[in-house]
């Protein structure tokens, strides 16, 4: 027997969670289903993060990437208040509106236990760093940032899961095989839990579902717009090297235009006193990082990604596959993530176990010593080396011989659909939101995108009323 809903949401990452929250708090009478392929938040457990192993053991379903909370659940919960980075919602809504939505998402997070502490680039200390960076052609982006912490982030998500579970049909461990538009304007989903139908559909596939969503779009005849591909490495070095910067702004978003190719390289996901970890996306092992708020769990190192952004033109149509195949080279050569000392990379020699053992920087991830020049395209590698030397002028010690580079780090974003201001696809009453839809790349804008789509649906309901201010507080 088919089950019927007013709204179905595919994907319980940040975007799907906030779409669901907005719907059930504004209209408690709505029948809403929130479907998630991975585990419930309390069942999500990575053996590396839990300290049971120091390397990826290829779990059947990677709890780092899938489950309630999405790929952001095991991140350290950096919430950025800005439109300068983190997505492209300003392509659909005015910047002022996007900022208001980001603030609104933060207010909701506060009711579930988020911190009130905010780091900002609008301080004298940050201004000193900004002026110094500009002298080396590095550009510090303006933002306020909250660091929720890996452990606190999971607690917040658990509270949100409890809140939603009592107000809608939350189904984890359910995969969607097919999206089917019906003749009456409704939607049917073929899922591992049977057939489900609804009047409205929100697709929030997340990073791990980006390829699946692209395939669904092709089957539905929806034209995709190529998105950028972000590929690079994760840098790990002593925390003291970046201490002046991280103490001032916590996460510095620095952009640099390389001298050789004029490509933009950016720092991403900076983790003071953090750990380097792996991610498993459909069997492809890539690298990431996180950090805890509890000082007892701090490492002696800081890690951050250096990502090279490239946009391709016709006939290129598969940004996801491009990144995935580069990552697969690392997996082929190293059995997973490769680590190399920066000095070895510049000298054109492979890092081996003996050389790594001699390094003054102790790795926080057990990775295979190797040669990243056999994995990354020359253009990407030249750009990364150029950026490291630029950073070395701002933070002396960045280009030290023993600085560790882990590869590869890939940010998987789906090709973007043509979307309306409400994030509606060309198919009536079907909306696409979040990182997996190619319109965001961070927690704050992902959450905001869910609010936009939910409000688009709320305004269309037959008995819709002006949206009131929410007075209910979450537990």
Asked whether residue 305 carries a pLDDT value surpassing 60, the answer given is: yes
Confidence band, pLDDT 50/70/90 cuts, at residue 454: very high
The confidence score (pLDDT) of residue 354 equals: 96
Would you say 46 and 154 are in contact if contact means Cβ atoms under 8 Å apart? no
Q: Which residues of 37-62 are buried (b: 16+ CB within 10 A; e: fewer)?
A: bbbbbeebebebbeeeeebbeeeeeb
Q: What is the pLDDT of residues 387-420, one digit of tens each?
A: 999 999 999 999 999 999 999 998 766 678 899 9
Confidence band, pLDDT 50/70/90 cuts, at residue 469: low
Between 283 and 175, the higher pLDDT residue: 175
Q: What is the pLDDT of residues 40-76, one digit of tens each?
A: 998 888 776 666 776 666 776 677 778 999 877 777 7
Maximal C-alpha separation, the chain = 70
The confidence score (pLDDT) of residue 62 equals: 74
Asked whether residue 357 carries a pLDDT value surpassing 70, the answer given is: yes
> Angle formed by the axes of helices 95-111 and 443-458, to 10°?
100
Beta-carbon contacts of residue 412 (< 8 Å; ≥ 6 apart): 207, 208, 210, 211, 281, 320, 323, 324
* Stretch among 86-90, 134-138, 304-308, 319-323 having the lowest mean pLDDT: 319-323
Q: Determine the average pLDDT of the residues in 419-448.
A: 95
Q: Determine the average pLDDT of the residues in 147-164.
A: 92
Q: Determine the average pLDDT of the residues in 87-99.
A: 96
Q: What is the pLDDT of residues 164-203, one digit of tens each?
A: 999 999 999 999 999 999 999 999 999 999 999 999 999 9
Q: What is the pLDDT of residues 19-35, one digit of tens each?
A: 999 999 999 999 999 99
Cα 152 from chain centre? 17
Q: What is the pLDDT of residues 315-328, one digit of tens each?
A: 776 777 788 889 99
For the chain, give the percent of residues with pLDDT over 70.
93
- What is the set of domains in the chain, with CATH numbers? 3-119+145-226+414-458 (3.50.50.60), 229-411 (no CATH)
């Amino acid at each position: 027997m088919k089950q019927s809903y007013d709204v179905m949401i595919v994907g319980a990452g940040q975007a799907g969670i906030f779409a669901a929250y907005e719907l059930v708090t504004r209209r408690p009478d709505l029948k809403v289903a929130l479907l998630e392929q991975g585990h419930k938040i309390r069942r999500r457990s990575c053996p590396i993060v839990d300290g049971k192993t120091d390397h990826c053991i290829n779990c059947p379903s990677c709890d780092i990437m899938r489950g309630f909370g999405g790929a952001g659940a095991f991140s350290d919960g950096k919430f950025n208040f800005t439109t300068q980075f983190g997505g492209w919602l300003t392509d659909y809504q005015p910047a002022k509106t996007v900022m208001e939505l980001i603030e609104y998402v933060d207010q909701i997070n506060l009711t579930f236990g988020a911190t009130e502490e905010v780091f900002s680039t609008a301080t004298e200390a940050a201004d000193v760093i900004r002026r110094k960076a500009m002298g080396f052609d590095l550009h510090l982006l303006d933002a306020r940032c909250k660091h929720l912490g890996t452990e606190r982030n999971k607690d917040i998500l658990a509270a949100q899961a409890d809140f939603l579970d009592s107000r809608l049909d939350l189904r984890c461990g359910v995969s969607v095989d097919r999206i089917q538009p019906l003749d009456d304007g409704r939607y049917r989903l073929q899922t591992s839990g049977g057939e489900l139908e609804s009047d409205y559909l929100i697709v929030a596939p997340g990073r791990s579902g980006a390829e699946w969503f692209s395939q669904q779009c092709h089957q539905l005849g929806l034209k995709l717009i190529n998105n950028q591909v972000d590929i690079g490495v994760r840098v790990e070095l002593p925390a003291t090297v970046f201490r002046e910067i991280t103490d001032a702004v916590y996460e510095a978003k620095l952009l640099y235009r390389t001298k050789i190719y004029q490509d933009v390289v950016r720092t991403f996901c900076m983790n003071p006193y953090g750990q380097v970890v792996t991610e498993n996306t459909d069997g492809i092992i890539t690298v990431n990082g996180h950090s805890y708020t509890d000082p007892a769990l701090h490492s002696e190192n800081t890690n951050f990604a250096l990502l090279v952004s490239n946009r391709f033109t016709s006939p290129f149509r598969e940004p996801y596959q491009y990144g995935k195949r580069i990552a697969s080279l690392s997996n082929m050569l190293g059995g997973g993530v490769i680590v190399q000392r920066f000095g070895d990379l510049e000298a054109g020699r492979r890092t081996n176990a003996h050389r790594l053992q001699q390094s003054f920087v102790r790795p926080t991830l057990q990775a295979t010593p190797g040669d990243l020049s056999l994995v990354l395209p020359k253009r990407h590698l030249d750009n990364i080396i150029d950026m490291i030397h630029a950073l070395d002028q701002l933070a002396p010690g960045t280009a030290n011989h023993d600085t560790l580079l882990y590869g590869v780090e890939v940010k998987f974003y789906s090709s973007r659909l043509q979307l309306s201001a409400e994030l509606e696809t060309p198919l009536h009453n079907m909306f696409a939101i979040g990182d997996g839809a190619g319109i965001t790349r961070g927690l704050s804008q992902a959450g905001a995108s869910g609010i936009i789509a939910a409000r688009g649906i709320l305004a269309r309901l037959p008995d819709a009323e002006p949206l009131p201010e929410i007075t209910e507080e979450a537990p």
